[in-house]
Amino acid sequence: MITIQNLSYSYNGPDTSVLKQLHLEIREGEHVALIGPNGCGKTTLIRHLNALLTPQGGSVWVDGMETTDQKHLKEIRRRVGLVFQNPDNQIVGMTVEEDVAFGPENLGLPSAEIRQRVDEALVEVGMEAFAQRAPHTLSGGEKRLVSIAGVLAMTPRYIALDEPTAYLDPAGRQRVLKVIQKLHRRGIAIIHITHDMNDLLDANRLLVMDRGAIALDGAPEAIFSRLDVMQDLGLQLPQVTLLLHRLRESGWEINTNILTIEDASTEISSRMNALKGALDAS
Ligand code: ADP
């Protein structure tokens, strides 16, 4: 479990706090989506999860190890992988496989084990055919998958991804989302920062951040029913959810706690059938 207590952080002195006494627990195996307006502190928060940043106030614990404790630093970095927003900032190798090997090499593992981890991680993200390619020749989506493989080669328990689908075409985004789903099924906890509401359909927990704190925390369906709060924060709802809210506003007795097109279509059909039944009966 990752436990964050009273976390405060500022880049430029206490008057400009980016994180404000934030509390949060992330349990093993969760799939958490993290949303919030630009500049609310999402990136700053996930940089605290593996001690890239350490708290100025409060504390962060990873499986019982405090992130300020130097003796745990290596293990914390192994357990919590970060995939940065811009994959170019994360790429260090001349070839894809060299890049993926960077983390396990830093752990000082024997070369046979490094080889095995690199191969497995590349297969896991579907990039094994690109092992010898130079990373800068890859597409944006492929670079993201290589970054994810680099983190996977460390056998993490938690992976935090900072807008991993930003600037990708629909096919690239689907590929990245599928890999994220697969990792979650393997038991790795996912913390996924996104701006795209369609990205969070797989999450079982949604965190909404506002000005350095967690404003809402719960099941996505429950949070999306808080249309007022979401709109105050300038956050969009998934299109289908918005449609159901509009139908309800115009007088339909309809469930708005729905996120997918399939469920929306079932709900609308059942309401229409009920309406038809009532009309036939009258
Ligand atoms: P988000 O990920 O929600 O967009 P960030 O955590 O990136 O938010 O940024 C929160 C605030 O901290 C913003 O006002 C941003 O300008 C500021 N900030 C982020 N990184 C730095 C930095 N390295 N130096 C100074 N200010 C920063």
41 lines ligand 1 (CB under 6 A): yes
More confident position, 240 or 23: 23
Q: What pLDDT, on the 0 to 100 scale, is given for residue 275?
A: 81
* 189-193/17-26 β-pairing: unpaired
Which of 8, 10, 11 has most ligand 1 atoms within 8 Å of CB, for mutation? 11
User: Going by CA atoms, what residue is nearest to atom 25 of ligand 1?
Assistant: 11
Q: pLDDT digit string (tens) for 180-233?
A: 999 999 999 999 999 887 788 789 999 999 999 999 999 988 888 788 888 888
Q: What pLDDT, on the 0 to 100 scale, is given for residue 55?
A: 96
| pLDDT band of 243, cuts 50, 70, 90 | confident
Average pLDDT over residues 23-48: 96
User: Going by CA atoms, what residue is nearest to atom 22 of ligand 1?
Assistant: 11
Domain count of the chain?
2
pTM of the complete model: 0.89
* Model confidence at 142: pLDDT above 90: yes
Quote the ligand 1 centre to 143 CA distance (angstroms).
Answer: 24
36 lines ligand 1 (CB under 6 A): yes
Residues 145 and 106 in one domain: yes
Q: What pLDDT, on the 0 to 100 scale, is given for residue 33?
A: 96
Q: Tokens at residue 57, please?
A: 């106030």
* Model confidence at 133: pLDDT above 90: yes
d(CA 90, CA 133): 16
Residues 67 and 151 in one domain: yes
Q: Tokens at residue 125, please?
A: 């993200």
In the sheet with 80-83, reading across from the earlier edge strand, the strands are: 80-83, 158-162, 189-193, 31-35, 205-210, 213-218
Residues 6+ apart with CB under 8 A from 234: 37
Residues 194 and 266 in one domain: no
| Residue-number span of the structural domain to which 210 is assigned | 2-235
**Measured from the CA of 38, which atom of ligand 1 is nearest?**
4
d(CA 75, CA 181): 25
38 lines ligand 1 (CB under 6 A): yes
User: Going by CA atoms, what residue is nearest to atom 6 of ligand 1?
Assistant: 41
Q: What pLDDT, on the 0 to 100 scale, is given for residue 278?
A: 81
| Residue that terminates a domain, selected from 211, 235, 259 | 235
User: Going by CA atoms, what residue is nearest to atom 26 of ligand 1?
Assistant: 11
* Model confidence at 21: pLDDT above 80: yes
Residues 117 and 45 in one domain: yes
CATH code assigned at 87: 3.40.50.300
147 lines ligand 1 (CB under 6 A): no
Residues 6+ apart with CB under 8 A from 95: 131, 132, 133, 134, 135
Query: Is the Cβ–Cβ distance between 203 and 33 less than 8 Å?
Result: yes
Query: Is the Cβ–Cβ distance between 260 and 239 less than 8 Å?
Result: no
Q: What pLDDT, on the 0 to 100 scale, is given for residue 197?
A: 79
Residues 6+ apart with CB under 8 A from 165: 144, 172, 173, 176, 177, 194, 196, 199
Query: Is the Cβ–Cβ distance between 243 and 261 less than 8 Å?
Result: no
212 lines ligand 1 (CB under 6 A): no
Residues 256 and 121 in one domain: no
* Model confidence at 41: pLDDT above 80: yes
Residues 228 and 278 in one domain: no
Residues 115 and 7 in one domain: yes
| pLDDT band of 271, cuts 50, 70, 90 | confident
Residues 6+ apart with CB under 8 A from 61: 1, 2, 3, 4, 5, 67
* Model confidence at 177: pLDDT above 90: yes
103 lines ligand 1 (CB under 6 A): no
Residues 245 and 211 in one domain: no
User: Going by CA atoms, what residue is nearest to atom 5 of ligand 1?
Assistant: 41
User: Going by CA atoms, what residue is nearest to atom 17 of ligand 1?
Assistant: 39
* Model confidence at 145: pLDDT above 80: yes
Residues 204 and 107 in one domain: yes
Average pLDDT over residues 97-118: 93
Residues 152 and 198 in one domain: yes
Quote the ligand 1 centre to 118 CA distance (angstroms).
Answer: 33
Query: Is the Cβ–Cβ distance between 53 and 45 less than 8 Å?
Result: no
| pLDDT band of 26, cuts 50, 70, 90 | very high
What ranges make up the beta strands (E) of the chain? Answer: 2-10, 17-26, 31-35, 57-62, 65-66, 80-83, 158-162, 189-193, 205-210, 213-218
Quote the ligand 1 centre to 54 CA distance (angstroms).
Answer: 15
Residues 244 and 156 in one domain: no
* 57-62/2-10 β-pairing: antiparallel
Of residues 1, 2, 21, the one with CA closest to residue 10:
21
Residues 22 and 129 in one domain: yes
| pLDDT band of 16, cuts 50, 70, 90 | confident
184 lines ligand 1 (CB under 6 A): no
* Model confidence at 236: pLDDT above 80: no
